[in-house]
Structure 1
Amino acid sequence: MTTIAEVRTRRLSVPLHTPFVTALRRTTTVETVVVEVVDSDGAVGWGEAPQVWQVTGDSLAGSQACLDGPLRDALVGRTPDLRESTALVQRAVVANRSAKMAADIALHDLAARRTGLTLAEHLASWAGVTTLPPTHVRTDVTLAAGTPAELAAAASGRVADGFATLKLKVGTDAATDVARVLAVRAAVGPDVALRLDANQGWDAFEAVRVIGALEAAGTDVEVVEQPVPAADVIGLAYVTAHVETPVMADESLFTLEDLVEIIRLDAADLVNVKLAKCGGLTPALELLRVAHLHGFGTFVGSMMESHLGVAAAAALVAAVGTSSLPDLDAAWWSVSSPYVGGASYDGDRLVLSERPGLGIEGVK
């Protein structure tokens, strides 16, 4: 009988071609833990645990210790039966969702490889979707926080790179956020879609004031993401009720319990599901299903992850679909992919490997 034989980890630091700046942090690298789950037949499934101190609180040291300790103990010697093994991962420890993300992706990747399916095909089958998933998904691209002139120049550059949807990082200074958005709209014209992500940078009253000013100026913003601090779900509901622009919950949503509270308060129009927040593909599928059943818009994003984690999120989108174009440009910021095989970018398209699983064969 096939069993899980090994759980191997390593750390990766991937340089970015441009600094990534938000209301919460500035980074010039992607820092992540890569895991390989190996079965007794020698098949390997890959996953990753990104470090995002300001959002998940998970560190490289903590995630690697979790993967090398309780998650390895829970998996080694067990059958790779997916329902059993993914449930073991979620029960093995409290929190540590980046580590759980890595193990859960690796288990799904391993299952897909064992059946000869791409990860998207595997996830579609797992979710009961009968249509063949696409081989690529389109994504927006983020404009790092900056001055109005810097954002306008960056916006023009990203449009030239082939992106038709731009996400502006705001929330660093409510007094000048309107000027930033106006500068970008003037630079790219009316046909490029604009989204805003405040990364918890406003309070509820500032958010209503800034969004109202943008509406009055005719900036045609598509959605505003996480305008208020994560714990202020009542404030999020206040903003949603007092603006016309759709509001998205991001840092306010980690678990199914968080989603229930958002639904109860009607606190947002859309929800952003990220693998590192919820703990992997298995819980992400459940969050998307419940949000859809309750009439909420669905959206899949990523942290600053490598091509591995972003490809897993893209496979999820390809498999089950979302109501809004995803935010999966994180690995586009990398100088290059650190992997042999796997996903790649072509303009605003994240092209998935057509090989089984994620299609990753190793680290360069």
Structure 2
Amino acid sequence: MRIREIKIGKVSIPLKKPFKTALRQVNSAEDIIIKVIADTDEIGYGNAPPTAVITGDSQDSVIAAIRDTIGPKLIGMDVDNIETIMTTIDTAMLHNNSAKAAVDIAVYDLFGKLHNIPLYKLFGGYCNRLTTDLTISVNAPDEMVRDSLEAVKDGFTELKLKVGTDVVLDIQRVKAIRQAVGNDVKLRLDANQGWKPKEAVRTIRRFEDMGLTIELIEQPVKAYDFEGLKYVTDHVETAIMADESAFGPYEVFQLLAMRACDLINIKLMKAGGLHNAIKIANLAETMGVECMMGCMLESKVGITAAASLSAGKRIVTKSDLDAAVLLAADPVIGGVSFVKNELLIPDAPGLGITAIEGWQEIK
């Protein structure tokens, strides 16, 4: 099986509610979905949601990177030679990780179809179902309480609260939500780089003193501030997770060597795809550091890829794979299915995806 052509397209999917963080607000998912087509006519699907404020990738840059630079280098390559293909993707150009991730995912999908194996089994086969949290966008405390109660009613037992816009309000938000949902619901906080190191320590200690039992705090400080992240980790009891700091294998190696965090959030769009995400998981496992599998605003293509790796690896103990739940429609035929807060991984080859409704090709 050899790669014959790569087609680039997009889907536009409205969100059920605006997605708000300390970095951005999004009202619809504008996702690039590619088709890597083999000489057997088999199709591998890949996905990239442009997230300029985090990865630096725009829709236009993703399209250009795949169409003009990465894609042409892969035409004619044997899908069985996955190591060479992944090296070619990695070295085709600097950065552009979301574009690389889309192609990487599609090639792995083809590889799984070629060998008639689901990707979660290819990656280790540890389990075939996952529990995900649900993200609560940063808003006024009363609105976040309403959203949290609605999520719990829908069966979610783990909530990820977006904070980081205002420390005083952040404390009010978390306190109100904890009082509303009770102590049986796990609360995770994501500051999206919104605090300074000492400010983060003061705020997190306040949460601790108030007995709010926060499971973890994600990326409290700027992505580049590894020393600041370590300062926070060393001065609080609550587990600290690196997200934007933990971009790819090299950054994760640095974080682990510094003992700058307690947990690593793996995201395919940061890492450049599954190949590098596997490296991150292996580095973390070597150091005994557990991982979360996270996501941007991927369609179910990207979520299925991330869930497949998460289900395959024992070191990935937490999942933040709720993007498809946040979407008002699902154009993806096949892939993971959702039952309340659980993702069920298909046993079909590759990603188990057969078609994308409403896919519009970009020439």
- Give TM-score scaled by structure 2 length: 0.96
Shift, 1:349, TM fit? 0.8
Gaps of 5+ in 2: 358-363
Residues 190-236 of structure 1: CA distance to partner in whole angstroms, max 9, x if unpaired? 11000000000000011001100000000000000000010111100
- Matched letter for residue 276 of structure 1: M
Write the distance in 2 (CA, Å) between the matches of 1:49 and 1:310. Answer: 11
Map of 1:157-176 to 2, 5 A cutoff? Answer: 157-176=150-169
SS state of the match for residue 12, structure 2? strand
Please, which moves more after superposition, 315-324 or 301-310? 315-324
What is the number of residues matched between the two proteins? Answer: 356
Counterpart of 2:265 in structure 1 is 272
1:240-297 per-residue CA deviation (whole Å, 9 max, x = no partner) reads 0110000000000112221122123211001111000010000000001001111222
Alignment correspondent of 1:123:
123
Q: 2:131 pairs with 122, 128, 138, which one?
A: 138
What's the counterpart of residue 360 of structure 1?
353
User: 1:341 Cα deviation (Å)?
Assistant: 1.9
Find the aligned partners of 2:150 and 2:314 in 1 and give their Cα distance: 29
Q: Which residue of 1 aligns with 2:78?
A: 79
User: Which residue does 1:128 correspond to in 2?
Assistant: none
Letter in 1 for 2:15: L
Counterpart-to-counterpart distance in 1, 2:252 and 2:333: 37
Q: In 2, Cα distance between the equivalents of 1:287 and 1:222?
A: 22
2:303 to 304, 310, 318: 310
Counterpart amino acid of residue 145 in structure 1: V
Does residue 99 in structure 1 map to residue 92 in structure 2? no
Task: Give the letter aligned to residue 101 of structure 1.
Answer: A
Partner of 1:287: 280
What is the CA distance between 1:59 and its match in structure 2?
0.8
Letter aligned with residue 40 of structure 1: D
Check if 1:147 corresponds to 2:146: no
Measured after TM superposition, the shift of residue 136 of structure 1 is: 2.1
Find the counterpart in structure 2 of residue 331 from structure 1: 324
Which amino acid in structure 1 is aligned with residue 112 of structure 2?
Answer: A
Distance in 2 between residues matched to 1:166 and 1:204, nearest whole Å = 24
Provide TM-score, normalisation by structure 1: 0.96
318-327 or 149-158: bigger deviation: 318-327
Please list the CA deviations of residues 68-89 of structure 1 after superposition, one character each: whole Å capped at 9, or x if unmatched: 1111111001111211111111
Q: Does 1:210 align with 2:203?
A: yes
Other-structure match for 1:109 = 109
Unaligned runs of 5+ in 1: 125-131
Aligned AA (2:110): L
Structure-1 residue corresponding to 2:253: 260
CA–CA distance in structure 2, aligned partners of residues 103 and 123 of structure 1:
18
How far apart, CA to CA, are the structure 2 residues paired with 1:112 and 1:343? Answer: 15
Q: SS where residue 74 of structure 1 aligns?
A: helix
Alpha-carbon separation, structure 2, partners of 1:164 and 1:275? 25
Map of 2:68 onto structure 1:
69
Tell me which amino acid in the other structure corresponds to 1:224.
I
Q: RMSD across aligned C-alpha pairs, in angstroms? A: 1.1
Secondary structure of 2:123's counterpart equals: helix
Q: Which shows bigger deviation, 241-250 or 319-328?
A: 319-328
Structure 1 residue aligned with 2:230: 237
Q: What is the rounded CA distance, in whole Å, between the counterparts of 2:331 and 2:186 in structure 1?
A: 31
Displacement of 1:113 after TM fit?
0.7
Amino acid at match of 1:114: L
Q: What is the distance in 1 between the residues matched to 2:241 and 2:328? A: 30
Tell whether the 8 Å contact from 1:5 to 1:40 is kept in structure 2 after alignment.
yes
Q: Which residue of 2 aligns with 1:57?
A: 56
Identify the residue that residue 31 of structure 2 maps to in structure 1: 32
SS in 2 for 1:205: helix
Partner Cα separation in structure 2 for residue 10 and residue 213 of structure 1: 47
Cα distance between partner residues in 2 of 1:111 and 1:324: 26
- Sequence identity, in percent? 39
Deviating beyond 3 angstroms after TM superposition, the runs of 4 or more aligned structure 1 residues are none
- Is the contact between residue 224 and residue 247 of structure 1 (CA under 8 Å) also seen in structure 2? yes
Alpha-carbon distance in structure 1 between the residues aligned to 2:315 and 2:308: 12
- Rounded Cα–Cα distance in structure 1 between residues aligned with 2:324 and 2:314: 20
Partner of 2:10 in structure 1? 11
AA aligned opposite 1:106: A
CA contact (8 A) 1:307 1:344 kept: no
CA contact (8 A) 1:300 1:322 kept: no
Structure 1 residue matching 2:215: 3-state secondary structure = strand
Aligned position for 2:361: none
One-letter identity of the residue aligned with 2:310: V
The answer to whether the Cα contact below 8 Å between 2:293 and 2:316 also exists between their aligned partners in 1 is no
